[in-house]
Chains A and B, each alone.
Chain A
Amino acid sequence: MEAIAFYLFAVLTTVMFLITVLTNHALYALSALAAGMIFISAFFFLLGADFLGAIQIIVYTGAVMALYAFGMMFFDTTRDVVESRTSPQIIFGLSGLAALTVVAMFTAPIISENITALYPAIDGVGNSQMVGMVLFTKFLIPFEVAAVMLLVAMIAGIVLAGKKMDHSLTLMKEEEIERETNEKAQV
C-alpha cells in the first residue's frame, strides 16, 4: 500500500515539476508548481511527518503560490516566455555539480552507518506534539531568528513593492483617471 502511494506520488510530482521547468507558458508553470507542492506534502504524510505536511500545504500552496499568483498580475504573463541558449561552459559546470550532488546524496547515509538519533522520537506522542517539544526547547533561538527574518521580509516586501500605494485608482473619480491617462498619452 505504501509502495503504491509512493510510486503514484513520485510519478505525479516528477511530471508536475517537469511541466513547471519545461513549459513556455508562465500560468501553466504556476499551476503545475502548485500541484507539485500538494503532491510533495503526500510524501510527508507517508513519512509520518504530519505537521510538516500540513505546513507544506499551508505555506507553499496557500501563501507562496498565492503570492506568486498576485505577483504575476504585475507582469505580462499571457505572452509565451522566450528562452535564449546559455553558454555550454555554464551547462557543463552545472551538470557536473548536479552529478556531484547525486554522488554526495547517495554516499552520505552509507558512510554514516553508526548514526544515532540526537532527538529520538518518543513512543505514544503524536508528531505535532513532538515537533512542538523539540522546536520550543532545542531550536528556540533559530525559531525566534526565523520569526524576525519573516518580519524583515514582510517589511522589505512592503517597502519594495508598495511604492505609490497611496495613489489608489479605486478611490479616484472617473474624470481624474481620464485626465491622468490623457497626460500620460501626451508624454
Chain B
Amino acid sequence: MMEITLQHYLVLSTILFAIGLIGVMRRKNLLLLFFATEILLNAVNIAFAAISSYYGDLTGQMFAFFIIAVAASEVAVGLGLLVLWYKRTGKIDLDAMTSMRG
C-alpha cells in the first residue's frame, strides 16, 4: 500500500470543504445552512490537524481547538436567534428574511 502523505489529507479536506460549499449554495432552510457551515469548519480542522502532524508543530492543533470553541458558541447564539425568529414568523426560510429593504 502507498503511504498516506500530507497531500492526501489536504485533498480530503478540500473535498469536504467543497461539499460544505455546495450545501451553503444549495440550502434555503437556515437550520440546514448551519449544518453546511459545520461541515466547512470540520474540513478546515482536518487540514490544520494534518499540517500540525506532518510538520511536528502543535500550532495547527491549537487553531483547531479554537475553531471548535468558536463553532460551539456560534451554534448556541445562532440556534437562539433561530428559535426566536421561528417563534415570531413561523418559518426559517432564508428567502422569507427580507425585512430590510434598501
A interface with B by C-beta (< 8 Å):
1-4, 6, 10, 13-14, 17-18, 20-22, 26, 29-30, 33, 36-37, 40, 43-44, 47-49, 51-52, 55-56, 59-60, 63-64, 67-68, 71-72, 74-75, 81-84, 86, 90-91, 94, 97-98, 101-102, 105-106, 109, 115, 117-121, 130-131, 134-135, 138-139, 142, 146, 149-150, 152-154, 156-161, 163
Interface residues of B (CB under 8 A from A): 1-4, 6-10, 12-29, 31-32, 34-36, 38-39, 42, 45-47, 49-53, 55-59, 61-62, 64-66, 68-77, 79-84, 86-87, 92, 95
Docked-complex contact B19 and A17, CB < 8 angstroms: yes
Beyond A17-B19, A26-B31, whether A86 also contacts B57 by CB under 8 A is: no
Chain B residues near A47 (CB-CB < 8 A):
9, 49-50, 52-53
Residues of A within 8 A of B35 (CB): 20-21, 29-30, 33, 68
Q: Is the CB of A56 within 8 A of B68?
A: yes
Subset of 15 A-B contacts with CB under 8 Å: A17-B20, A21-B20, A33-B35, A43-B9, A49-B52, A75-B92, A81-B32, A102-B14, A102-B18, A105-B47, A106-B14, A117-B55, A134-B59, A156-B76, A157-B79
CB distance from B21 to the nearest CB of A (A): 5
Whether B65 and A63, one on each chain, are in contact in the complex, defined by CB atoms closer than 8 angstroms, is no
With the chains together, A59 CA to B13 CA distance in Å? 20
**Minimum Cβ distance to chain B for residue A83 (Å):** 5
With A47-B49, A49-B53 known as contacts, the answer to whether A40 contacts B58 (CB < 8 A) is: no
Out of B13, B53, B66, name the residue touching A146 (CB < 8 Å): B66
B18 in complex: contacting residue of A48, A74, A98, A119, CB < 8 Å: A98
